Amino acid sequence: MVYLVGAGAGDVGLLTLKAREVLQSADVVIYDRLADDEILNFCADAKKIYVGKSAGNHTLKQSEINQLLVDEARQNKIVVRLKGGDPFVFGRGGEEALYLRENNLPFEIVPGVTSAIAVPAYAGIPVTHRGIATSFAVVTGHEDPTKPESSINWEKISTAVDTLIFLMGVANLPQIVAKLIEHGRKPDTPAALIRWGTKSEQEVIVTTLAKAPHEKISPPAIFLVGEVVNLREKLQWFETRPLFGKKILVTRARAQASKLSTALKNLGATVIEAPTIKISPPTDNFAAIDTAIKNLRGFDWIIFTSVNGVEKFFERLKLHGLDARALNKIAAIGLSTAEKLSSVGIIADVVPKDFVAESLADSLKNFVGGKKILVARAEVARDILPDTLKNFGADVTVAPVYKTSAESPAQIDFDALDLITFTSSSTVKNFVAAHGVDVLKEIPTAAIGPITAQTLEEFGVKPAVVAEKFTIDGLVEAVEKFYEQR
């Protein structure tokens, strides 16, 4: 089966559920230049073949792409042909589908959100609007309007449609404008040039038809002509988000990065994920925690110091055929850990006001004397919590449920970054080990709390942002506040 899939206009959130479904089932993905890299994460195990095209640079000819689809499909594979926008809106999807039919191969079309509508919408420009525009046309801008026999009927289209949207038209802008004016479109008609629409690099130039060729803009961009452009002044929304245009590096472990990344993207940021740590089983292969679980009834308190600790502990608990009924008193280091406990049906008995080990130990001071305590945590962590509890007279068992280690260093364009976020001391230490400390003195940093901030300071780096609430939400709020103040 071959799926001809529209990837949408650029924002990964515009990918359809159907598109995601077929990407996840794909054996081979043949993709274009405008397919967002994040979309390719949905088909991580598939073979990926890049066939993108840019001005003057075609990886493969269209005939070669057609044959590639046939060759891959004939190997009894699920093939996805991934295109920017919609396959049937100047995507040459029709040609590919016809070639597949000629070769007796089955195919399905998965429509995408076309840039012709999505990009103006992200610029605050509706292609139709009551009382202003009741029609629109999508026109290729790739065709040279000066050729002897144009397939575009300039005489009629110039004035017959309220809103004109030209795709891939930057290179031919002078000729397009000349043809429109020659055939009756007024030179002072409002116009807009929109580059990298729906992405955080979006750039919008509002101009007039006559002035458009003199504006400085490069592909990929669309050209829109019509009175609806005047609505942008009141309807623009995408570029007004507080972190619009900011490029922020997330160093959190890959499995935990999504919540932070999503929150930053929702505020307009471009997020680059470059994990510095990975989560793996402890060195003892769960021997200590398994022993503790076999004697779980003997512990008066179980203390969790991270979301990962909760997740890994309950995985082991289930393997032993047990559930929450086997637990006694529960303490969580902070709100995120408490929320993770809540997701498995447990309300923590103690959650300190400040989400650090010192505060958690102090909150338990009057409850743990003579009690048996199990601390389920990372293999390597500060010992302040167990040591303090022992000083309070507790019998403390520390059982690692996971360990963190350095992730392979990622290739990062540091010159493009506006901020680097750190969610633990481990992320700081591993980042410095991989990339050195000098870059952290050039780019502002954000720490999830005072312990992480302290680790940065030990490397001679004063963080620009330190969250007042030591959670992902608190970190995002602090980043937003930082840029509001600037």
Per-residue pLDDT of the chain (486 residues; tens, 9 = 90+): 999 999 999 898 999 999 999 999 999 999 997 657 789 989 989 999 999 876 556 689 999 999 999 999 999 999 999 999 999 999 999 999 999 999 999 999 999 999 999 999 999 999 999 999 999 999 999 876 567 788 899 999 999 999 999 998 898 999 999 999 999 999 999 999 999 999 888 999 999 999 999 999 998 899 999 999 999 999 999 999 999 999 999 998 887 788 899 999 999 999 999 999 888 999 999 999 999 999 999 999 999 999 999 999 999 999 999 988 889 999 999 888 999 999 999 999 999 988 788 999 999 999 999 999 999 999 988 899 999 999 999 999 999 999 988 888 888 999 999 999 999 998 999 999 999 999 999 999 999 999 999 999 999 999 999 999 888 999 999 999 999 998
Equal fold, 247-276+407-485 vs 280-404: yes
The pLDDT value given to residue 423: 93
Strand 277-280, strand 395-406: pairing: antiparallel
Superfamily of domain 117-240: Tetrapyrrole methylase, C-terminal domain (3.30.950.10)
Report the pLDDT value the prediction gives residue 148, as an integer from 0 to 100: 73
Alpha-carbon torsion, ordered 93, 99, 101, 103, to 10 deg: -150
Write the CB contacts of 16 (distance below 8 Å, at least 6 apart in sequence): 6, 8, 110, 111, 112, 113
247 forms beta bridges with 270
- So what's the pLDDT on residue 258? 85
How far apart CA 451 and CA 395 sit, in angstroms, is 26
> CA separation (Å) from 141 to 58, 170, 174, 359, 410?
18, 7, 11, 63, 38
C-alpha–C-alpha distance, residues 411 and 430, integer Å: 14
Helix 425-435 with 450-458: angle, nearest 10 deg: 30
Q: What is the pLDDT of residue 411?
A: 87
Best CATH choice for the domain 280-404 from the list 3.40.30.10, 3.40.50.880, 3.30.70.520, 3.40.50.10090 = 3.40.50.10090
Q: Are 251 and 276 in contact (CB under 8 A)?
A: yes
HEC assignment per residue over the chain: CEEEEECECCCHHHCCHHHHHHHHHCCEEEECCCCCHHHHHHHCCCEEEECCEECCEECCCHHHHHHHHHHHHCCCCCEEEEECECCCCCCCHHHHHHHHHHCCCCEEEECCCCHHHHHHHHCCCCCCECCCECCEEEEECCCCCCCCCCCCCHHHHHHHCCEEEEECCCCCHHHHHHHHHHCCCCCCCEEEEEECCCCCCCEEEEEECCCHHHCCCCCCEEEEECHHHHHHHHHCCHHHCCCCCCEEEECCCHHHHHHHHHHHHHCCCEEEECCCEEEECCCCCCHHHHHHHHCHHHCCEEEECCHHHHHHHHHHHHHCCCCHHHCCEEEECCHHHHHHHHHCCCCCCECCCCCCHHHHHHHCCCCCCCCEEEEEEECCCCCHHHHHHHHCCCEEEEEEEEEEEECCCCCCCHHHCCEEEECCHHHHHHHHHHHCCHHHHCCCEEECCHHHHHHHHHCCCCCCEECCCCCHHHHHHHHHHHHHHC
Q: What is the pTM of this model?
A: 0.79
Backbone angles phi, psi at 313, to 5 degrees: -60, -45
Q: What pLDDT is attached to residue 35?
A: 59
Q: Which CATH number fits domain 247-276+407-485: 3.40.50.1220, 1.10.10.10, 3.30.70.270, 3.40.50.10090?
A: 3.40.50.10090
Domain ranges in the chain are 2-112, 117-240, 247-276+407-485, 280-404
Q: Which CATH number among 3.40.1010.10, 3.40.50.300, 3.40.309.10, 3.40.640.10 corresponds to the domain 2-112? A: 3.40.1010.10
> Catalytic residue positions?
32, 53, 168
